[in-house]
């Protein structure tokens, strides 16, 4: 059989509706080559005869041939014709019945060992489908965010932005935003830094990831608050660090215990302003001790101030970074909790000697943060809206916490004690009775509440059972409704386990 005759046997399926004809022909010929219906070295019919056979224009057939040639499926010999490429790999070219899939076996390539290990314990946060659900703890009051104002600032910034803002941005962040952040953390948190030390990140989480990758080697030990923020310990472990859980008491991370557990650790991760999730403030004594240890051990301190702006009692506590004289503290902050989650802008304040390394790392991780969003945020800060919003939210969150406490006092008495959070966006409902916090959370979740058991934040050191209740992102009505639902969930659980506990509600 002449090679070109082989082509006569090919049954090309009809083009799909509105499909470009050249693309249809190209796809059909490519499929015939890949699954072996057109053998290696086979000569394709001339463009003229193909055009006649299928009622196509010569131009259409030529376009399909050119595409096949450009992708290396065919080669053209001047004066002789077009041939199926001889160099295509054997196995993908094996002859098979028409329409059969290529013969390559299904891939068994797997995730890396590191990824498999890391992913074992990671919980992926769901995207929000509603706002203000009781007792969501990881969102601020999105219901009260001034979206009209934000939209006006955004429209103005986008209209006036020079074309250069649409080009490649600065890896460390948009300079006016870095200046605004340096000013803000200096005035509000006592952080001492120049704009050059500020690296704008995609939220605090990216800051933690950069820190882990830049400052740690696999096997390095890191002190980590227990209970503590899982997002930090996942990131540290993913970088190959050995996380050393350290108990937390009413003064914060126990530095004395940590010194015994791992004196030569390379890093300590702490949330001194408002410990996650116990909400204690690190004492001055512990702060000084921690700073001394870090300076002596040539270790880093990561200070995560994700929600330090919200303090309801007493004076704001200055950042640990403000006391650092040895350049050991890397400070992490985020706008996701101060404005809204979707903004995904945060920052790291790095000691001068490593700020350039952060900038370079940012450049290979994802080049730079989105410049236009940064420009909008910089303007929002410069015009005073940011400061105003944070002050308003501080007041509102204080009121929301009071509403939660009041409702809990009326309806949850006997079942839980809701702690008075001095700061932050959430508090703990300590459970009374025999029910575990996981069981309590499961029952509450079944009734539609968003509560997390405290035990999911512990690594090694057990804790009295408790539920994390967010209050900042929920209206007082939603908090009251949530408390009613929680009372029903816990009341039922207690009745089943102990044969009946009287609740304030049932009196
Ligand atoms: C203690 C702590 N650090 C960091 C983060 C991450 O913040 P971001 O959403 O800005 O990445 C969170 C988020 O809930 C947190 O609770």
For every one of its 507 residues, what pLDDT tens digit does the chain have, with 9 covering 90 and above? 444 445 656 777 777 777 789 999 999 999 888 888 888 889 998 999 999 988 999 999 999 999 999 989 999 888 889 999 877 765 555 555 555 555 688 999 999 998 898 888 888 888 988 999 999 999 999 999 999 999 999 999 999 999 999 999 999 999 999 999 999 999 999 999 999 999 999 999 999 999 999 999 999 999 999 999 999 999 999 999 999 999 999 999 999 999 999 999 999 999 999 999 999 999 999 999 999 999 999 999 999 999 888 988 877 789 999 999 999 999 999 999 999 999 999 999 999 999 999 999 999 999 999 999 999 999 999 999 999 999 999 999 999 999 999 999 999 988 999 999 889 999 999 998 889 999 999 999 999 999 999 999 999 998 899 999 999 999 999 999 999 999 999 998 888 876 544 444 443
Instruction: Give whole-number Cα distances, 307 to 6, 120, 314, 341, 471, in Å.
Output: 72, 28, 16, 12, 13
Question: Using CA of residue 490, residue 280, residue 473, residue 235, what is the dihedral sign?
Answer: negative
**β-strand partners of 224:** 245, 269
CA dihedral 24, 26, 30, 31 (to 10 degrees): 10
DSSP H or E stretch at residue 180: helix 175-189
In 3D space, the residue among 84, 144, 494, 490 whose CA is nearest the CA of residue 92 turns out to be 84
In 3D space, the residue among 44, 62, 51 whose CA is nearest the CA of residue 2 turns out to be 44
Compute, in angstroms, the gap from residue 409 CA to the centroid of ligand 1. 30
Cβ–Cβ < 8 Å for 307, 167:
no
Compute, in angstroms, the gap from residue 421 CA to the centroid of ligand 1. 18
**β-strand partners of 253:** 248
Closest ligand 1 atom, residue 304 Cα: 3
Compute, in angstroms, the gap from residue 275 CA to the centroid of ligand 1. 12
Question: Using CA of residue 178, residue 179, residue 182, residue 183, what is the dihedral sign?
Answer: negative
Q: How far apart are CA 268 and CA 225, in angstroms?
A: 9
Compute, in angstroms, the gap from residue 205 CA to the centroid of ligand 1. 6
Q: Would you call 222 exposed, middle or buried from its count of C-beta atoms within 10 A (0-12, 13-18, 19+)?
A: buried
Ligand 1 site: residues with CB under 6 angstroms? 138, 203-205, 229, 231, 271, 276, 304, 306, 334, 336, 346
Q: Which of the listed residues 306, 373, 427 should we mutate to test ligand 1's pocket, taking the one with most ligand atoms within 8 A of CB?
A: 306
* Per-residue pLDDT at 4: 47
Return the DSSP state at 460. S
Closest ligand 1 atom, residue 206 Cα: 11
Phi, psi of 487 (to 5 degrees): -60, -40
* Per-residue pLDDT at 226: 98
* Per-residue pLDDT at 12: 78
Q: Which of the listed residues 276, 302, 303, 472 should we mutate to test ligand 1's pocket, taking the one with most ligand atoms within 8 A of CB?
A: 276
| Crossing angle between the packed helical segments 385-411 and 476-498, to the nearest 10 degrees | 30
Compute, in angstroms, the gap from residue 305 CA to the centroid of ligand 1. 9
Pairing of strands 329-334, 300-304: parallel
Tokens of 191: 């952080």
Pairing of strands 466-470, 242-249: unpaired
Q: Would you call 182 exposed, middle or buried from its count of C-beta atoms within 10 A (0-12, 13-18, 19+)?
A: buried
Compute, in angstroms, the gap from residue 373 CA to the centroid of ligand 1. 19
Give the closest residue (by CA) to ligand 1 atom 14: 138
Cβ–Cβ < 8 Å for 320, 303:
yes
Residue tagged 């340096």 (tokens) = 182
Angle at 248 between CA 211 and CA 425, to 5 degrees: 70
Q: How far apart are CA 165 and CA 173, in angstroms?
A: 12
Compute, in angstroms, the gap from residue 422 CA to the centroid of ligand 1. 19
């Amino acid at each position: 059989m002449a090679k070109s005759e082989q082509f006569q046997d090919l049954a090309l399926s009809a083009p799909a509706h509105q499909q470009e004809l050249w693309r249809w022909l190209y796809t059909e010929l490519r499929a015939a080559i890949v699954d072996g219906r057109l053998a290696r070295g086979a000569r394709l019919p001339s463009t003229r005869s193909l055009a006649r056979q299928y009622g196509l224009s010569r131009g259409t057939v030529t376009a399909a041939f050119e595409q096949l040639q450009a992708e290396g499926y065919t080669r053209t010999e001047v004066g002789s014709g077009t041939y199926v490429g001889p160099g295509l790999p054997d196995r993908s070219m094996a002859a098979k019945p028409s329409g059969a899939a290529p013969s390559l076996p299904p891939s068994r390539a797997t995730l890396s060992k590191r990824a498999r290990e890391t992913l074992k314990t990671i919980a992926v946060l769901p995207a929000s489908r509603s706002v203000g659900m009781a007792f969501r703890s990881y969102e601020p009051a999105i219901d009260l965010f001034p979206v009209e104002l934000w939209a006006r600032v955004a429209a103005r910034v986008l209209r006036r932005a020079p074309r250069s803002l649409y080009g490649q941005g600065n890896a460390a962040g948009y300079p006016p935003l870095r200046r605004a952040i340096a000013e803000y953390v200096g005035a509000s948190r006592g952080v001492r830094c120049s704009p050059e030390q500020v690296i704008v990140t995609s939220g605090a989480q990216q800051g933690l990831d950069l820190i882990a990758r830049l400052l740690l080697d696999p096997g390095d030990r890191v002190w980590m608050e227990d209970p503590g923020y899982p997002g930090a310990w996942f990131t540290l472990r993913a970088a190959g660090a050995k996380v050393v859980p350290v108990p937390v008491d009413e003064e914060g991370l126990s530095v004395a215990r940590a010194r015994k557990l791992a004196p030569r650790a390379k890093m300590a991760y702490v949330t001194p302003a408002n410990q996650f999730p116990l909400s204690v403030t690190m004492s001055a004594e512990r702060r000084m001790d921690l700073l001394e240890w870090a300076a002596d051990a040539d270790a880093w301190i990561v200070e995560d101030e994700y929600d330090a702006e919200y303090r309801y009692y007493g004076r704001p506590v200055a950042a640990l970074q403000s006391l650092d004289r040895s350049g050991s503290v890397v400070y992490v902050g985020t706008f996701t909790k101060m404005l809204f989650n979707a903004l995904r802008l945060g920052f790291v304040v790095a000691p001068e000697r490593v700020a350039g390394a952060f900038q370079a790392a940012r450049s290979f991780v994802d080049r730079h943060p989105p410049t236009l969003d940064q420009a909008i945020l910089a303007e929002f800060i410069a015009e005073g809206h940011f400061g105003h919003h944070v002050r308003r939210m501080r007041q509102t969150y204080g009121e929301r916490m009071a509403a939660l406490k009041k409702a809990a006092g009326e309806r949850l008495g006997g079942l839980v004690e809701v702690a008075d959070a001095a700061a932050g966006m959430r508090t703990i409902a300590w459970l009374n009775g025999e029910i575990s916090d996981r069981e309590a959370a499961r029952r509450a979740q079944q009734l539609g509440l968003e509560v997390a058991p405290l035990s999911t934040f512990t690594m090694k050191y057990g804790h009295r059972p408790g539920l994390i209740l967010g209050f900042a992102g929920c209206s007082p009505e939603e908090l009251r409704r949530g408390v009613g639902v929680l009372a029903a969930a816990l009341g039922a659980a207690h009745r089943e386990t102990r044969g009946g506990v009287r609740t304030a509600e049932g009196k």
